[in-house]
Every structure is written in structure tokens, then in C-alpha cells.
Amino acid sequence: MVQPRFVRPTQSSPSSNSGEPNSSNLYVANCGPAVGLTHDAIAAVFAEFGDVNGVYAADESGVRVIVSFAEHFSAKAALEALSGRPCPDLEGRSLHIRYSVLQLPSETQVNDCVPVSLIDSELNIPGLFLLHDFVTVEEEQQLLAAVDARPWIGLAKRRVQHYGYEFCYGTRNVDTKKRLGELPSFVSPILERISLFPNLDIDPSCLNLDQLTVNEYPSGVGLSPHIDTHSAFEDCIFSLSLAGPCIMEFRRYSVSTWKASTTDAVKSGDCSCIKKALYLPPRSMLLLSGEARYAWNHYIPHHKIDKVKDKVIRRSSRRVSFTLRKVRNHPCRCKYPQYCDSQQQM
């Protein structure tokens, strides 16, 4: 049985915000199986306000659900009574509630069905290259052991390490005055191999990579759509996948997204975009340069299971990525000003 799919209302939806109670479905955050609350327990609480058709997982986090009522006035009553308040019958958790709408099957197919390619040439994105088996299995284990022997920094859903320069997630940039030192010796073989990377028709100085971010993604954790800040880094961005695979989706929006893809149009879905997807196997090296680096958002869906060419691939318990970049010390003068913070601020 296919589970119904719900989305956040848009301005054209029957309920565009929490002030227009025309939907019988509620998006409820801060409750679910991951915090010890079963769907039956949640349904029992919301049933006090009317007949509940069902409680469904809103995503794979385990802490967000959809409560679907038979009548919209029941949803309105539940939202007004429970949103933003501790609920004694749900272990005192404060629920964050907004309206949701049912997404039609045709909409799901159009919006979510992005064919996944296995080789870079199928995407036809200039400047995007993927090399399989860039490191051996033995080298992969050595690299993982090296980072696991060093301290991790905990973020909301993943862990990171920074070398060369610390990346500031608040500004999506680096402070060039605060250098952390040379890159660690365990990445030296990778740097030497990068110099032999095919199709590199770029300024050799861009290959003097001096910033490394190591990310550890638990199963089900992805990455929001973004373009690496133009003013922060030079042309080439290299990303080595270790320990597990993932799907990386590439999006080119019809509007400016230089503010880290947080424009109102992008968040609300009121702009069009081209979507393409690529399977990144363990030990592969991805290069984003030119148009791929400057004009296309890259994004890792928050999935535990990916579908690749009719095959279902379960993500491993962790995926570790090594992202290598060259810090920029001058304004960006790329050919994509609509996506460029340096040129938009002039």
C-alpha cells in the first residue's frame, strides 16, 4: 500500500498558512517514534478533537508526523489547542504544528522522480566530473582511521572536522585571518593524485588546495541545496566519498540563489529549476568546476534508501566525505553573476 504524501501549503493551496484552516491535515514536529511516541499514541491524543484518518511519518527523521483528520474543523481545533504548548499525554513535549495538504500522485511523480545517472557525462553539466575508485579499499580504511583518531565537531545532524581554515556555517564562508595550519599529512596522497585528474583545463594555482572539511553523515542524513559561496573558494571543489554511497542532486534555479539558496522564491517553490542526479559510490572523487561549481546547487536527499536504475540501494550506517577547496583571497569574477555574492554586492 502506498502511503499518502503531504506537503507544506503554498500560497495557491487551500490553506496557505496557519491562519487559514481549510486543510484537515496537520504537520506535527517534535513527536514520533524516534522520541518514544508511537503513531497510535499520537492518534489517541489528536482523536480528542475528531475522527483521525491516520498518522503518517512526515519524513525519515522519526520526530515529525502528519496527522490526518476526517474534517478540517477537527484539525483547526487540534492546532489551536496543542501547538506551541507542552502536551502531558505525549511526555510533556511541546508540539510545533502547521497545516499540510495532500500531494496528488501526479505531483509526486513530477517533483520527486529525478532519474539517477551512474556516469558524469549523462548529466551534461559542464565542469562536473566523477572518477570511480579514486582510492583503494585499503586507502579508504586508512583515511577513515585517520579522521576517527581525531576530534569531531558535532553539528545538528552530522559531525565535521576542519583543516587549513575553519568553515563558518553561519556565514557560509571562511575567515582568512584565522588559519588553522597546513593540511594533515594523511591527505597528501590525495593531493598528489588530484594533480593528475583528467579534464583539468584551469589555472594551476586553483589546485593549491588549502582547506579541507570532513563530513560524517549518519544514515538518512543529507545536505540542503546550496552553491559553495563564490567569494569563499576558488574554481575547483573536490569531494571524496568514503564508507558509503549517496545520491547527489544538482539543481539550476531560474532565480538568483547567491544567498545560500534561501530566497523566498526557492523556499516556497515559486521558481522553476532543472534537476539532475548522480550516484556517488564509495571511494569516488567528484569535481565541481566552472558552471557546475558556480551555477548549480548541489544537494543530498535525506533518504535511508535510494533508487538507482531500478535497483534499491540502502545507505550504509555512515558516509564520510572529504571536501577539498582553495580559499579565495580576492573577489569572484565568474561568468555567473546572478549566483555570485561578490558581484551581487557590488
| pLDDT computed for residue 256 by the predictor | 54
| pLDDT computed for residue 105 by the predictor | 45
| pLDDT computed for residue 318 by the predictor | 95
Type of residue found at 298: H
| pLDDT computed for residue 261 by the predictor | 42
- What is the pTM (predicted TM-score) of this model? 0.67
| pLDDT computed for residue 91 by the predictor | 87
- Other C-beta atoms closer than 10 Å to the C-beta of 88 total 9
Beta carbons of 114 and 277 less than 8 angstroms apart: yes
| pLDDT computed for residue 225 by the predictor | 86
| pLDDT computed for residue 216 by the predictor | 97
| Of the candidates 99, 110, 76, 121, the residue with the CA atom closest to the CA atom of residue 17 | 99
- The b/e string for 253-291 (b: 16+ C-beta within 10 A; e otherwise) is beebbbebbebeebeeeeeebebbbbbbebbbbbbbbbb
Task: Give the model confidence (pLDDT) of 292-303 as tens digits.
Answer: 999 999 999 888
Q: Work out the end-to-end distance of the chain between its first and last CA atoms, rounded to an integer number of angstroms.
A: 54
| pLDDT computed for residue 139 by the predictor | 97
Under 8 Å CB-to-CB from 91, ≥6 apart: which residues? 35, 36, 37
Low-confidence ranges of the chain (pLDDT < 50): 1-3, 10-20, 104-111, 257-270
Task: Give the model confidence (pLDDT) of 260-302 as tens digits.
Answer: 444 443 444 445 688 999 999 999 999 999 999 999 999 998 8
| pLDDT computed for residue 16 by the predictor | 40
